[in-house]
Structure 1
Amino acid sequence: MRIKNPLKIKISVKEHASLFLGNNIWVTGGNTTIICNKNIMINDDCLLSWDILLMDTDFHKILNSDNTIINKEKPIHIGKHVWIGCRTTILKGVSIANNNVIAANSTITKSISTENCIIGRNTEMLKTGIQWKK
């Protein structure tokens, strides 16, 4: 992983959790936080801008009427060659397909299975058929 400003990157991995960082990952700015309580995978050739939050947990439990946990920790999977724009939050249970761009200031709560797209807030498909280069 290449980090331009390593003093502003926060990574927290809970005991028995798994954080996988592929090859050629760039983190271009500060205030990026990765909180891994279960499993986070960031594949090769990804670009993370500044002020990114990846979090596979809610840090608290919500129970239904029979005391079953309804907000369990879920893994995050970022495909190959994904650009995550500044001030983006990616929450638990999300998978992002290869070759996508996540627009700045987005909150991603649902998986994205289509490739070569720009995705915005609320997982809105902004443009298809794109390519991007570092």
Structure 2
Amino acid sequence: MNSNYCKLFLKLMHIHYGRDLLLKGAPFVYNHHGAHIIIGDDVTIKSNFLSNLIGLYSRTIICTRTTGAEIVIGDHVGISGATIYARKGIYIGENTCIGGNCKILDNDFHPIDWKMRNRLMFDEIGPKDNEWIPTREIHIGKNCFIGCNTIILKGTVLGDGCVVGAGAVVSGTFQADSVIVGNPARVIRQNYTLKKCNTKEG
């Protein structure tokens, strides 16, 4: 699909995007009434199978589901076949790379309690009733690298410069420059090498 058509669709959905947005393929974007999606300058969003040679399982999905929800993507961010799904808020810092097929989800999609889950299934609770669906903002810092097939769960905070290994399932708060791997994800080291090389002593 011609990226100009996609950009026209984004405008019709009241999505704000900056200069030089590059779309490789057509992402699926949905902005709920009263929600906000903001995309910075020089962002690349890949949605074609061959736009990332890891192989993308689906188009990139960027979706807000409740009034007041926010997705804010900083400048110079790269996204490949990821799902970014917000009921409250997802914030991605500049120069961050999001690898193929990642899922960034600020909610559990359903109540933990089975009785409430059944009520929701049968429309006794409206989708606006966020209090029944565990939801917490996600904050991803600047200059992060998130490997392919990772899952970033609700409430996660990644400091600037974090690296998340492929396939990790991430929940919690991680300080800047952490290298994070595994399920559940854990820190295996602090990535200070580049900082040391940039000092006068290095």
> Is TM more than 0.5 here?
yes
From the two aligned structures, give the one with the greater strand fraction: 1
Q: Paired residue for 1:21?
A: 73
Q: Which runs of 5+ in 1 are unaligned?
A: 64-68
Aligned match of 1:50: 100
Say yes or no: does 1:35 pair with 2:116: no
| Unaligned stretches of 5+ residues in structure 2 | 1-42, 49-57, 114-130, 195-202
The whole-number CA distance in structure 1 between the counterparts of 2:145 and 2:62 is 19
- Describe the superposition over 1:47-99 as per-residue Cα deviations: whole angstroms up to 9, x where unpaired: 01101000011111134xxxxx6862100000111100000000001100001
2:44 corresponding residue in structure 1: 2
Structure 2 letter corresponding to 1:106: A
User: Quick one: higher RCO (CA 8 Å, sep 6+), 1 or 2?
Assistant: 1
- Residue 117 of structure 1: CA displacement? 2.2
* Distance in 1 (alpha carbons) for counterparts of 2:190 and 2:90: 26
Q: Secondary structure at the match of 1:44?
A: coil
Equivalent residue pairs, number: 125
Runs of 4 or more off by more than 2 Å in structure 1? 4-7, 69-72, 129-132
Q: Which moved more, 1:16-25 or 1:70-79?
A: 70-79
Query: How many Å separate the matches in 2 of 1:107 and 1:20?
Result: 22
1:66 corresponding residue in structure 2: none
Q: Which residue of 2 aligns with 1:75?
A: 137
Larger Rg: 2
Identity of aligned pairs, percent?
26
Matched, 1:12 2:54: no
Question: Of 88, 102, 120, which residue of structure 1 is paired with 2:181?
Answer: 120
**1:20-54, CA deviations, whole angstroms, 9 ceiling, x for partnerless residues?**
11111011x32x10111110000111001101000
CA distance in 2, matches of 1:125, 1:43: 20
Of the structure 1 ranges 119-128 and 77-86, higher mean CA displacement relative to structure 2 is found in 119-128
1:99 maps to which of 161, 173, 194: 161
Shift of 1:5: 3.0
Is the CA contact 1:116–1:131 (under 8 Å) kept in the aligned structure 2?
no
